[in-house]
Structure 1
């Protein structure tokens, strides 16, 4: 089994007004890993709470889920980088298994396939948007994925090499599309999806869901990504 050292993992947590959820989320970061809470303009004291709980706070004034995620990636220094929503809907402790799979060379990108637990965990409009995008992703890449969930793990240098450009809701999709174009092996793992704390900033309404779908359709319309220098973050296969 691959050994992942304490200082080899950074967890990026995009955050906009998640004061209520932060204690639950940060308490579940694996011991020794660094939590990077990217404050995307919170007004509820989220940044102060994160600091008090031992997290590293990364300010990002430009609004947008992708802007927050990428600011966290640029601030990361560890060999492995993970992403997790900061709303208590997903347990970051589950990332330990994700990172072990990447470190062992079994795969290059692990995505959490959300399995709703509890009433209201995944509203119908958000689920419908995710299903439509998953089908479009399959047609575009051949990857047999069912979810574009935010719980994910990979090597930091390899992700930087994908040169992601989206700074809105399309960021997580662009990550998967470019990874597929670069020949990465991609794996899904089922994870419990809990009712989130507070209201979603991306898919909390039909309008928010539509805006996210619009952003992601723009990503799918981009020409295939060609890595500047072919390298092995992975090879074709995995969830294809």
Structure 2
């Protein structure tokens, strides 16, 4: 069956979460797991659960996400964390406004189901960046969450360059510059499976803020 939506999962050591993440995809959605240096057998687990697996040797969220975008062939591409913090079924909610023509880019606004799902330092950093993004674009956005969707051809045409944590922000800035209709929809957010590598750590959050601040400065110039 031809996929209606390809879902890109940047992946670094998520073997414990991948079975539920991939098995929970809506009908017609195909997982593309981009192995970004895993040592826990994530690639084999992903393949066993029906995903297309590609390898991206250059470390970084943006490097993995963009490699997945280029590997996708479905007309619509979605992005999602592979750590089990999202319910894969919510992807249908994110994709719907793209299908019916209400938006060009849809972002999932995280709604924590438990307090520990979203550490305070990460939530504060996200709120700060969202405020800067609203000022920079005029879009009514409150979350830079990784669950999102758009048409593949449109995303490729944006010519995104960041290959680190600034990739999600660059996508929104570039879309706004092209006058895309950008929409948020609520999605559930749960504690991740296993050890966090970014938002669950102060160091990881600080790195992400630094990368995104750099993207904002570059776009301003």
TM tier relative to shorter chain? over 0.9
Question: 1:232 — aligned with what?
Answer: none
Equivalent in 69, 75, 80 of residue 79 of structure 1 = 75
Conservation of the 8 A alpha-carbon contact between 2:34 and 2:55: yes
Q: Following TM superposition, by how much is the alpha carbon of 1:224 offset from its aligned partner in structure 2, in angstroms?
A: 5.9
Q: Which TM-score applies when normalising by structure 1?
A: 0.89
Question: 2:117 — aligned with what?
Answer: 121
Equivalent in 30, 49, 53 of residue 57 of structure 1 = 53
Cα distance in structure 2, aligned partners of 1:37 and 1:124: 29
Question: 1:150 — aligned with what?
Answer: 146
1:159 equivalent in alignment to 2:152: no
1:96 equivalent in alignment to 2:92: yes
Question: 2:4 — aligned with what?
Answer: 8
Conservation of the 8 A alpha-carbon contact between 2:24 and 2:89: yes
* 1:100-146 CA-partner distances (Å, limit 9, x unpaired): 21121111111000011124100011101101100111111111211
Conservation of the 8 A alpha-carbon contact between 1:10 and 1:35: yes
> Unmatched 5+ residue regions in structure 1?
226-240
* 1:138-169 CA-partner distances (Å, limit 9, x unpaired): 11111121100111111000000100000000
Question: 2:169 — aligned with what?
Answer: 173
Q: Following TM superposition, by how much is the alpha carbon of 1:6 offset from its aligned partner in structure 2, in angstroms?
A: 5.2
Cα distance in structure 1, aligned partners of 2:205 and 2:134: 20
Question: 2:16 — aligned with what?
Answer: 20
SS at match of 2:16: coil
Q: Following TM superposition, by how much is the alpha carbon of 1:8 offset from its aligned partner in structure 2, in angstroms?
A: 2.2
> Unmatched 5+ residue regions in structure 2?
none
Conservation of the 8 A alpha-carbon contact between 1:14 and 1:39: yes
SS at match of 1:201: coil
Cα distance in structure 2, aligned partners of 1:136 and 1:224: 12
SS at match of 2:62: helix
Cα distance in structure 1, aligned partners of 2:2 and 2:85: 25
SS at match of 1:7: coil
Alignment RMSD (CA, Å): 1.4
Alignment of 1:128-143 (within 5 A): 128-143=124-139
Q: How many residues align?
A: 221
The structure whose residues are more often helix, as a share, is: 2
Conservation of the 8 A alpha-carbon contact between 1:21 and 1:197: yes
